[in-house]
A and B are shown apart, each in its own frame.
Chain A
Amino acid sequence: MDTIQESLVEVGVDPHLPSPVGESAARHHAVTLPEKPLVIIKPRQSFVALDLRSLWTYRELLYFLIWRDVKVRYKQTALGVTWVLLQPLIMIVIFSTLFGKVAGLPSDGIPYPLFACASVLAWTFLSSAVTKSGNSLVGSAHLITKVYFPRLMIPAAAICAAAIDLIIAFAVLVPMMVYYGVVPKWQVVMVLPLTVELILLAWAVGMWMSALNVKYRDVGFALPFLTQIWMFLSPVVYPLSVLPPRFRLVMMFNPMTGIIEGFRAALFGLPFNWLAILISTVVVLLLLAYALFSFRRMEREFADIV
């Protein structure tokens, strides 16, 4: 592509006003065009593959969008990034008091605050990532109607920005584990793959919601309630073991079950529930495939209806 550009630049010898048609036609001879068109713009077919080439071309834009989100998020706040730590901390305190002390929910033998910490970190990320990316396309309407770039970048950038918060928030774990004297065992290596799975799940749901939100603004209203309901259907404040065995399998089809239980096992050296992790991985991958497909299909209408 660079060679085309150079040859075009060389043509420009004429510094004065655009010349009349005849003269300019003479200028054109030096230009060499590629054999095949770089882009063919036409109505898309029903089946839509991922356009990896254009994703790669615009990779730097993803970086800038994430950078913007991170940079802007804590402008004009007094506490700044501390909020990333405060949000899960406050939730842990509330949950420990309410569900641990008052309701006396069991916690698989782990001190309740520690038990809640693992799930709250995962959950805070999921709900903020899904909410932010769900509203991201609608919030970027001015971009969508004015410039072309792969639309997938927008919800993806929102997820990545939230993921940066998640990584910072993991810092909350360290003093808590020291305080309760918990030493990580070999299981701790599973934290990384589980985090990746969690991010993929947030991306799948966030991307799907963001596309739906373009057409149906109801999504923006429903999303907070849906995530709230989802939280109580996930083992955030209670362990999976509290349920009767026949419900446990059903619960495992909620991908957050495998992820949260997996996090606890990895951090506190408990045995893994491999079945739950397997089911949740499969569900996440299916969701992601569906979300990508659905997004690509709705994408072509974004600029017209947003």
Chain B
Amino acid sequence: MKPIIKVENLSKQYRIGARKESYATLRDTIAGAVRAPFNALGRNGRSGKNTIWALKDVNFEVVPGEVVGIIGRNGAGKSTLLKILSQITEPTTGQVEVYGRIASLLEVGTGFHPELSGRENIFLNGAILGMRRAEIAHKFDEIVAFAETEKFIDTPVKRYSSGMLVRLAFAVAAHLEPEILLVDEVLAVGDVAFQKKCLGKMNDVASKGRTVLFVSHNTAAVQKLCQRAVWLESGKVKEDAAASAVLENYLHEMQDDFGSDLASRNGDFVITKARMFGESGQESQAFMTGESLRVELDYKCARNFPGAYLYIGIANRETLLFAANMCLDGSRIPGGEESGKLSVTFKELPLAPHQRYYIKVGGRASDNQTPLFEDSDIEVGVIQVVGSTADIHLNGEASELLISDSSSVLVPYEWDFGKGRVRNIESFKNVKLLDHRSF
């Protein structure tokens, strides 16, 4: 079988750290720009200490009609691979032969302009993604129907809720008809119902014999959609086989170890495992509003580990919402033991249904100043809040539709309309939780 994509010895090198050139004076800049074409002839691959190989000698082939999942940790080179395949950036060495039209979906809504209406943005975004005007016009009604935004189609998209915007953006992208579709994590947005719809649409695309390359952290989606998976690690192909086999190995390794992400700066403290438990004590990723959540971390530390301050928090896509923070409450990870377990229980999750939340960890070293990890707010898990709005006493007409765009945290409140007209929203605790308890 002849491949539709043939990747040969593909490598990409990035420079890291500060770019010295940005401090060049204007005179140097102009002089350099004038000289540049003469220098360009004699210049080739850069090398040095401040470089990193995002991809190194990657080889694989994809035959037409295949749906291939690309998996790997953050920084393993997945996105770089997609960027090269979609011609956004050039490889440093190696080459890719492509025998069909490629469309890439590295982000939904690329090029949406807030001032333009939904209708106008469909055309603009379609053109940016490589669709012909006639093609867009032909599919226009279908796109609008898929996005469920008929009513607002002539409203500027700056007045759209984020959920509506994502739906519209995905709808345009989902109606691309290339021979090869590259998809990067777009399913991580939107509510559960819409995600299902998107997965369904991708399924259709695949079943029409198109080739799909799908990069995702969502191993369940990869399992469901892909026949084959390519596992990248540190820029190299670690395993390339049937999806189920690769995923099994991948998940196994993920459980054992998070990788260098979760080691402290000087390596004396490493989080090796993070698990979430629900009210029943079962390990879970689905929680109800008002349920308790216990986050448990396994860690290893050096013999001379002086102890440190840690926080474990819940974040939405943008910000940390709340956290249990040792820097504030004065607790510390005990030092002097080589490994241990610690857990924190959030007693009543004030989180809204149909939304997705991230468990984040961060901390400070024993001096309560130096950051403990290289990055702040490291994600160690994802939870989905389940249940309907009716379950949490929100009976507004469109509450089920609007809740995914509403605020990420729910706190009990009371309305007072004067003249003794008071309405008390006492609790958001999911009624099913109460039923469950009374057993």
Q: Do A and B make up one complex?
A: yes
A175 CB contacts on chain B under 8 angstroms: none
Q: Are B115 and A72 interface neighbours, CB within 8 A? A: yes
Contact of B127 among A11, A64, A300, A304 (CB under 8 A): A64
Is residue A37 contacting chain B, with contact meaning CB distance below 8 A?
Answer: yes
Shortest B46–chain A CB gap in Å is 11
Q: Are A147 and B111 interface neighbours, CB within 8 A? A: yes
Shortest B118–chain A CB gap in Å is 14
Q: Are A11 and B208 interface neighbours, CB within 8 A? A: yes
Selecting from A107-115, A179-187, A213-221, A253-261, the interface stretch reads A213-221
Given contacts A4-B100, A5-B179, A44-B90, contact A297 B116 (CB under 8 A): no
Chain B interface size band reads 35 or more
Contact of A60 among B1, B127, B228, B242 (CB under 8 A): B127
Selecting from A16-24, A125-133, A193-201, A240-248, the interface stretch reads A16-24
Q: How many residues of A contact B (CB 8 A)?
A: 69
A31 CB contacts on chain B under 8 angstroms: 4, 64-65, 209
**CB-nearest residue of chain A relative to B25?**
A218
Contact of A33 among B2, B107, B177, B210 (CB under 8 A): B2
Shortest A133–chain B CB gap in Å is 17
Is residue B394 contacting chain A, with contact meaning CB distance below 8 A?
Answer: no
Count of A-B contacts judged by CB separation below 8 Å: 190
Q: Are B36 and A8 interface neighbours, CB within 8 A? A: no
Selecting from B219-227, B346-354, B405-413, the interface stretch reads B219-227
Q: Are A8 and B64 interface neighbours, CB within 8 A? A: yes
B111 CB contacts on chain A under 8 angstroms: 142-143, 147
Is residue A229 contacting chain B, with contact meaning CB distance below 8 A?
Answer: no
Tell me the complex Cα distance, A60–B127, Å: 7
Q: Are B124 and A64 interface neighbours, CB within 8 A? A: yes
A46 CB contacts on chain B under 8 angstroms: 40-41, 43
Q: Are A12 and B1 interface neighbours, CB within 8 A? A: no
Contact of B98 among A20, A28, A39, A218 (CB under 8 A): A39
Q: Are B37 and A14 interface neighbours, CB within 8 A? A: no
Is residue B120 contacting chain A, with contact meaning CB distance below 8 A?
Answer: yes
A148 CB contacts on chain B under 8 angstroms: 86-88, 104
For window 32-52 of A, CB contacts with B under 8 Å fall at 33-34, 37-44, 46
Given contacts A15-B207, A68-B116, A303-B89, contact A8 B179 (CB under 8 A): yes
Tell me the complex Cα distance, A14–B227, Å: 14
Tell me the complex Cα distance, A57–B131, Å: 10
Is residue A83 contacting chain B, with contact meaning CB distance below 8 A?
Answer: no
Q: Are B102 and A39 interface neighbours, CB within 8 A? A: yes
Contact pattern, B 57-85, Cβ under 8 Å of A = 1, otherwise 0: 00000011111000000000000000111
Tell me the complex Cα distance, A173–B359, Å: 65
Q: Are B88 and A9 interface neighbours, CB within 8 A? A: no
Q: Are B2 and A71 interface neighbours, CB within 8 A? A: no
Tell me the complex Cα distance, A72–B226, Å: 42
Q: Are B242 and A21 interface neighbours, CB within 8 A? A: yes
Is residue B94 contacting chain A, with contact meaning CB distance below 8 A?
Answer: yes
For window 258-306 of A, CB contacts with B under 8 Å fall at 290, 293-294, 297, 300, 303-305
Contact pattern, B 94-136, Cβ under 8 Å of A = 1, otherwise 0: 1111111110101100110101100010011001111011000
Is residue A146 contacting chain B, with contact meaning CB distance below 8 A?
Answer: yes
B90 CB contacts on chain A under 8 angstroms: 41-44, 300
Q: Are A11 and B209 interface neighbours, CB within 8 A? A: yes
Mark B residues whose CB is within 8 Å of A.
1-2, 4, 6, 14, 19, 21-22, 24, 26, 29, 33, 36-37, 40-41, 43, 63-67, 83-102, 104, 106-107, 110-111, 113, 115-116, 120, 123-124, 127-130, 132-133, 177, 179, 203-204, 206-210, 224-228, 242
Supply 17 further A-B pairs (C-beta < 8 A) apart from A24-B65, A143-B110, A300-B89. A8-B209, A10-B209, A12-B207, A12-B208, A17-B224, A31-B209, A37-B6, A37-B97, A40-B95, A40-B96, A67-B124, A71-B116, A147-B86, A147-B88, A147-B128, A148-B104, A294-B37
Mark A residues whose CB is within 8 Å of B.
1, 4-5, 8-12, 14-21, 24-25, 27-28, 30-31, 33-34, 37-44, 46, 57-58, 60-61, 63-64, 67-68, 71-72, 75-76, 142-149, 208, 212, 215-219, 222, 290, 293-294, 297, 300, 303-305
Show 19 residue pairs from A and B whose CB-CB distance is below 8 angstroms, ordered by the A residue. Answer: A4-B101, A8-B65, A8-B209, A8-B210, A18-B206, A18-B207, A28-B63, A33-B2, A33-B100, A38-B100, A41-B84, A68-B120, A75-B115, A146-B88, A208-B33, A294-B33, A294-B37, A300-B89, A304-B89
